[in-house]
Each structure stands twice: as structure tokens, then as C-alpha cells.
Amino acid sequence: MWKWTKRVLTAIIIIASGYVAYDAYRAGYHTRPDMPEGAFSLSYKNGMRAILVGIPNQKDTRRYFGFPMEVPFYLEDAWSFCYPPNDEEEAHAISFIKDRDWPGERFEAVCKITVENEIVVRGLITSVPKL
């Protein structure tokens, strides 16, 4: 009996370890660039990978949503750096947020990728309170 229990537990540990490794690989953490001091990262199933800079990490109290923009296929899984919006960016994004009217939603960041000195907007990050 003990022999089968050890085998089953070993199989469960191997399967769980494999899933954790697969999930980390799918999220792209192995390709994440060095992050600035105080930054934190988010990886979404829609392919958007974001490093938030200059934004307080409130993962304990807020849920972050990534809204990807259409980008060339070779940038879909690239890490983008996200910063608080400037006045012009915020004006454009406010109309995006108001269309949904989610209670407590905040516009957090604009995510951009720099390719050969050209800036590509990768997406937007918003957050809502966790309940």
C-alpha cells in the first residue's frame, strides 16, 4: 500500500511542477527584461506582457486588466514598458473607459514598445477594486 502511495504522490509532484514550469513559460517570464527599481510586471493570456513603471503595485487591493492594441505579429509577445499617461493620452483613454462605465475603474498606464527608435503603443492598463 505504501509503495503505491509514494508513486501517486511522486506523480502528483511531477505533474504539478510541470504545470508550474509550463505556466511560467507561457507567461514569458523567462524573456522578461531587467526591470527598473519599483516596477512590477503583468502577463495576460491575450499575449500582452507589461512592465509597469512609476505606478504603485496594488495587486492586493486592485485587479489589473490589459487591453491590447493591434500590433505586428512579431510584437505580440514582446514585453512593453507601461507608464502613467500624459494629458493627451489620458484624454483619448477616458473615452475608452467611459464607454464601459465600470464602477471604480481607473486608467493606470499606456504600454509602449520601442522598435528602432519608433514607438508602438502596445495597449492600455486599467484597474478595478478587488472585492
Split the chain (131 residues) into runs of 10 and give each run's mean pLDDT: 82 85 68 86 90 94 93 91 88 72 85 94 92 83
Question: 110: which residues sit within 8 A by CB, 6+ positions away?
Answer: 82, 83, 85, 89, 93, 121, 124, 125
**Rounded-to-integer distance, Cα 131 and Cα 121, Å:** 30
CA–CA separation, 120 vs 45, rounded Å?
20
The pLDDT value recorded for residue 53 is 96
pLDDT the model gives residue 92: 76
State the average pLDDT for the chain.
86
Q: How many Å apart are CA 95 and CA 12, to the nearest integer? A: 48
Q: Which residues sit opposite 65 in a β-bridge? A: 126
Q: Which residue has the cell 493606470?
A: 108
* pLDDT value at residue 26: 67
The predicted-structure confidence for 72-106, as pLDDT tens digits, reads as follows: 999 988 999 999 988 888 877 777 766 777 788 88
- 39: part of which helix (H) or strand (E)? none
CA-to-CA dists, residue 28 to 41, 44, 112, angstroms: 11, 10, 17
pLDDT at 11: 84
Instruction: Give the integer Cα–Cα distance in Å for 80 and 108.
Output: 14
